[in-house]
């Protein structure tokens, strides 16, 4: 267990998560384009329904979800130890825990959604997507909030405040624009039967009729990119944290917690 909280291990898991996440998205979209599908724009989950990219989607997101679960736990635990050792107000430790638990729920649902194509279990798939994006966004919100008090203790963290805030704005704006396009779609169809048409189009993939759905899908991709880039900001943070909190410091905090 202690080895999982060693900074080099945490960095490796974060890098592996970002790499597999990016590779999976790139692979499924490349297959989509290679097979002559309409470029603009499938939902990420459409590449699970499309037969050509189904396997890549499943394998990639099972691996990414498992790494997300592990990485969020590692980062949240180590960050929590740093906060406690630094003597911050208890509310910031609680915010860190909220972000950690939210991100871990998101990771579990990424693994789960890899075996839940929306054409078979639409409502379950929607619920899983809600927890994935909701958990991821809550993790990023908490991470962004924590950067302020952490930078007052370790000034070198100050340089992470602007990129994290910018990415959070991108993520929230993408979410709002995606939902706005779903509202536009509801003006065309008052129920979910439109998804039957969309499913048939995704299987053929050469024509996607509903422009509002394509635009919603585009903002899903930008939101996902923002979440991935936010995770990468953990790397420079940990380069700083591991210099300011020695292994002995972590062990001391862990011992106090156990007592």
Model confidence pLDDT, tens digit, residues 54-66 = 999 999 999 999 9
Q: In this structure, what DSSP letter does residue 37 have?
A: -
- How large is the C-alpha radius of gyration of the chain? 20
Q: Terminal CA-to-CA distance of the chain, rounded, Å? A: 18
Residue 222 has pLDDT above 90, yes or no: yes
Average pLDDT over residues 4-28: 94
Q: What is the DSSP string of 198-212?
A: HHHHHHH-S----HH
Structure confidence at residue 155 (pLDDT): 93
H-assigned helices in the chain: 7-34, 46-49, 54-86, 90-113, 122-153, 161-188, 194-204, 211-232, 234-244, 247-258
Banded model confidence at residue 195, pLDDT cuts 50, 70, 90: low
Residue 2 has pLDDT above 90, yes or no: no
Model confidence pLDDT, tens digit, residues 145-175 = 999 999 999 999 999 999 999 999 999 999 9
Average pLDDT over residues 116-136: 92
Share of the chain above pLDDT 70, in %: 90
- Cβ burial 88-99 (10 Å sphere, 16+ → b, else e): beeebbebbbbb
Backbone angles phi, psi at 115, to 5 degrees: -115, 20
> pTM, whole model, 2 decimals?
0.89
Model confidence pLDDT, tens digit, residues 70-107 = 999 999 999 999 999 989 999 999 999 999 999 999 99
Banded model confidence at residue 206, pLDDT cuts 50, 70, 90: confident
Structure confidence at residue 183 (pLDDT): 83
| Cβ count within 10 A of residue 127 | 15
106 neighbors 68 (Cβ within 8 angstroms): yes
Exposed, middle or buried by CB within 10 Å (0-12, 13-18, 19+), for 59? middle
């Amino acid at each position: 267990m202690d080895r999982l909280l060693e900074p080099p291990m945490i960095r490796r898991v974060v890098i592996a998560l970002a790499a597999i996440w990016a590779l999976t998205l790139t692979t499924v979209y490349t297959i989509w384009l290679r097979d002559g599908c309409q470029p603009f724009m499938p939902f990420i989950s459409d590449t699970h329904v499309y037969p050509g990219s189904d396997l890549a989607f499943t394998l990639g997101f099972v691996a990414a979800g498992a790494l997300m679960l592990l990485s969020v736990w590692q980062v949240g635990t180590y960050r929590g130890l740093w906060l406690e050792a630094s003597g911050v107000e208890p509310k910031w430790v609680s915010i860190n825990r909220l972000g950690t638990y939210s991100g871990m729920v998101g990771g579990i649902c990424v693994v789960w959604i890899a075996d839940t194509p929306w054409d078979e279990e639409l409502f379950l798939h929607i619920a899983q997507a809600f927890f994935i994006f909701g958990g991821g966004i809550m993790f990023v919100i908490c991470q962004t909030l924590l950067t302020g008090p952490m930078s007052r203790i370790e000034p070198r963290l100050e340089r992470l405040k602007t990129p994290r805030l910018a990415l959070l704005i991108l993520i929230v704006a993408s979410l709002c624009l995606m939902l706005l396009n779903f509202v536009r779609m509801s003006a065309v169809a008052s129920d979910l039967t439109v998804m039957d048409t969309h499913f048939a189009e995704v299987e053929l993939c050469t024509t996607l009729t509903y422009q509002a759905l394509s635009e919603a899908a585009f903002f899903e991709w930008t939101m996902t990119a923002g979440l991935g880039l936010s995770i990468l900001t953990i790397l420079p943070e940990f380069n700083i944290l591991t210099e300011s909190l020695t292994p002995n410091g972590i062990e001391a905090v862990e011992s106090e917690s156990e007592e």
